[in-house]
Structure 1
Amino acid sequence: MSKAQHAPARGFPEAEFATRTEKVQAQMAQQGLDGMLLLTEPEVRYFSGFHTLFWQSPTRPWFLFVPAQGKPIAIIPEIGAELMRQTWIDDIRTWSAPAPTDDGISLLTELLSPLAASGGRLGMLKGHETNLRMPLGDYERLMGALPGLQIEDATGLVRALRMVKSEAEIEKLSHICAIGSRTFDAVPQIAQEGLPFEDLFRQFRREALSQGADDVPYLVGGADQGGYHDVISPPSPRPLQRGDVFMLDTGATWDGYYCDFDRNWAVGQADDASRRAYDVLWRATEAGIAAARPGTTCRELFHAMQSVITELDDQGGDVGRLGHGLGMQLTEWPSHAAFDDTVIEENMVLTLEPSLSYGDGRIMVHEENIVVRADGAQLLTTRAAPELPVI
């Protein structure tokens, strides 16, 4: 049987984008916005279906305008026109790019001038975890050409919509989490004493692709005697040694949606301190799974996990949060942290990521992916073993 069988259909039906657009337009009306201008890949893709890796090039800006009513309008480089025509978008305005003296600015000015003339309110993303994906100089020139246009923060509108997933999105997320779980299951057959850590990364990526992942754009980890000290560095050429504890954390993708979770192992033998740290984190994750219900706040979810972590570490690894949202991006809103009062809703997809410090500067991280249903959390990942696995 092919590992790729039973995969969901790629893309979404037009009704998915129509629903998303209608929902955000209803919120725009309540907030008094006359339009919304989007410049970043996840938001452009979310409302249009335009999916390409070409965003990795910083050369060209891309714009999507969401009017108060009707379909979004694409203002994009000509190189993307054919792909955009395959989406549900009808109004596609292009220019020959790159054009440093006018990279879509005159087209945007023409589109937005009626709003500016009437003192209209244009929503843009200004908040945390957003960015302006166009040259600041071009943005200043655009605003200078549109006197009277009022720029308002639309972060909350898009954030609230994207945090709650449709069933079609959840199906894709479940699929990539299953691929990630099968890949992690293969690690004990791949990893062995003497294998350079960087070679384990290469073999893990190959395994994920063979299991059906489209890509593995994110893979980090750590390995050292009795426990690792860092979880975001590239892999070293150092061979795995007996007594090492190592972790792999992957963000693999399928059809533009991410999984994001990790697994820990010991090589040959596991020391008592690492076994203890693993047990605390496993139980902290259990507490998070139990607490992740509609109506719970992210702050409460954080404290549910942190109350277990403090058995061993009162700082919780000092990483600032113990999980986050998941979807078209490796990390999305919200954050499981003491500062986040976001109320968890049904169909949010979240990571639970407790961490702690132990021993002489060692750290450990444990992570699972869940979807929140009406009656509580449902695991999308295959639950990690309750005791630290030894290879």
Structure 2
Amino acid sequence: MEISRKLEPPKKGFSVFEFEGRLLRAHSIMHKYKLDALFLTMPANIRYFTGFDTQFFHSPTRPWFLVIPYNKKPIAVIPEIGKTLMEMTWVEDIRTWDSPNPNDDGISLLFSVFKDLKIKFNSVGAELGMEMSLRMPWIDFNKLLEKQKQTFLDATQAIWEIRTVKTKAEINHINFICKAVSSCYYSLPKIINLGETERQVSEKLKKNIIDSGADSIPFMPVVSGQNGVSQIISGPSDKELEKGDLLFIDTGSTYDGYFCDFDRNYAIGNASDEVREVYDLLWLATEAGINAAKPGATTGDVWLAINKIIEDKKLIKNNVGRLGHGLGLQLTEPPSHSFKNETKILENMVLTIEPGLEYLPGKLMVHEENILVTKDGPQLLTTRAPKELPIIN
């Protein structure tokens, strides 16, 4: 279904009330996991709790730190160059140093912050687990380990417990970018032609997505091949579209930091019966996955619902470790829809449903939609892919 009117984008940024709510949730979960503080270095985690976003996150030269005590507001420990921008957020306690400084890149300031913490559990949670990373030199982190009286623990589970359930404001952002990109996918066959290159297709789609309100497009694999594609992770090439090609496009576009992540498939000129059959199969598998994503179910249940449709056709089995994931400030977030995964699906999670399979040796197809889990069941955020494979003539 075509979206004829341009969706009104939500107001950018979030209220102090929104950030206070996130902090209260964090404090509650920190008590649950017996943490005196969270020690955060990842851009997405810092942005989640502060609203702070800098282009300097793209540079590995300077570390950026956020400490969240279990009983206080966040404390930013950042390079001096970021002070003015951080002062525009709701964060009041901002401590800075001249960076880069190989001899002391904020470590003395961190010592001071940790020294002043109110000790209740004698532990600090850090980004040490799966889908987390420490954005600082290991040598510097080791100094903290050696000299701090608190024990550093892996806070991965606590952090994701805070972030995986989205607020209404977050959902509005994700819904907007999903709807905007859905409209661009729908109109794509009208603006591309046989003989154009993957790169030209990518440029046209990116322009339309930006014109529709997106801020950035960090992720856009564009791949084509006769009767299917051999991989789905490369950027576009100068290969020309030919009759009989399957064109696969995936995108992670953002609005105010929040991602959509879904793909579409198109046949160029014509499609073989086999390609049509696989497309139809994955459409049904996606439907099964969507319907299984209800509060109280597990992500393993979603995997089983999808996989049953695929296995019933006795084609080559899917060869990826999961069939969808969480979505938000990052392109991919927990949880994963994987075999025997017991992670409970909760109301207000945003998830991707992503069945894929290898139907011939070296020939892949993947479908993907984005959904919101409501108390009444799943709600599509993307506009559903056409039930029949679109043909571009």
Whether the aligned pair in 1 keeps the contact of 2:198 and 2:222 (CA below 8 Å) is no
Cα distance, 1:352–1:316 mapped onto 2, change above 3 Å:
farther
Q: CA deviation at 1:247?
A: 0.7
Alignment partner of 1:70 is 2:72:
yes
> How many angstroms apart in 1 are the aligned matches of 2:191 and 2:346?
39
What does residue range 136-147 of structure 1 map to in structure 2 within 5 Å? 136-146=138-148
Letter of the 1:323 counterpart:
G
Instruction: Please name the residue that 1:203 is paired with.
Output: 204
> How many angstroms apart in 1 are the aligned matches of 2:296 and 2:315?
26
Alignment partner of 1:344 is 2:345:
yes
Tell me the SS of whatever aligns to 1:317.
coil
Q: CA deviation at 1:52?
A: 2.2
What does residue range 1-391 of structure 1 map to in structure 2 within 5 Å? 6-115=8-117, 120-146=122-148, 148-312=149-313, 316-391=317-392
> How many angstroms apart in 1 are the aligned matches of 2:6 and 2:215?
11
Q: CA deviation at 1:41?
A: 0.7
Whether the aligned pair in 1 keeps the contact of 2:250 and 2:261 (CA below 8 Å) is yes
Q: Percent of pairs identical after alignment?
A: 46
Whether the aligned pair in 1 keeps the contact of 2:34 and 2:121 (CA below 8 Å) is no
Whether the aligned pair in 2 keeps the contact of 1:220 and 1:231 (CA below 8 Å) is yes
Whether the aligned pair in 1 keeps the contact of 2:165 and 2:349 (CA below 8 Å) is yes
> How many angstroms apart in 1 are the aligned matches of 2:7 and 2:389?
32
Post-superposition CA distance 1:238-259 (Å, at most 9, x none): 1000110111000000000000
Whether the aligned pair in 2 keeps the contact of 1:42 and 1:328 (CA below 8 Å) is yes
Whether the aligned pair in 2 keeps the contact of 1:248 and 1:262 (CA below 8 Å) is yes
Post-superposition CA distance 1:177-234 (Å, at most 9, x none): 0111011112102221100111111111111111111111100032111111110012
Give the superposed CA RMSD.
Answer: 1.7
Whether the aligned pair in 2 keeps the contact of 1:312 and 1:358 (CA below 8 Å) is no
Cα distance, 1:283–1:104 mapped onto 2, change above 3 Å:
same
Structure 2 length-normalised TM = 0.95
Q: CA deviation at 1:35?
A: 1.3
> How many angstroms apart in 2 are the aligned matches of 1:60 and 1:20?
26
> How many angstroms apart in 2 are the aligned matches of 1:44 and 1:190?
40
Cα distance, 1:316–1:78 mapped onto 2, change above 3 Å:
farther
> How many angstroms apart in 2 are the aligned matches of 1:85 and 1:123?
25
> How many angstroms apart in 1 are the aligned matches of 2:39 and 2:128?
11
> How many angstroms apart in 2 are the aligned matches of 1:270 and 1:219?
23
Whether the aligned pair in 2 keeps the contact of 1:220 and 1:234 (CA below 8 Å) is yes
> How many angstroms apart in 2 are the aligned matches of 1:307 and 1:288?
10
Tell me the SS of whatever aligns to 1:310.
helix
Tell me the SS of whatever aligns to 1:112.
helix
Structure 1 length-normalised TM = 0.96
Gap runs ≥5 in structure 1: none
> How many angstroms apart in 1 are the aligned matches of 2:125 and 2:99?
25
Tell me the SS of whatever aligns to 2:14.
coil
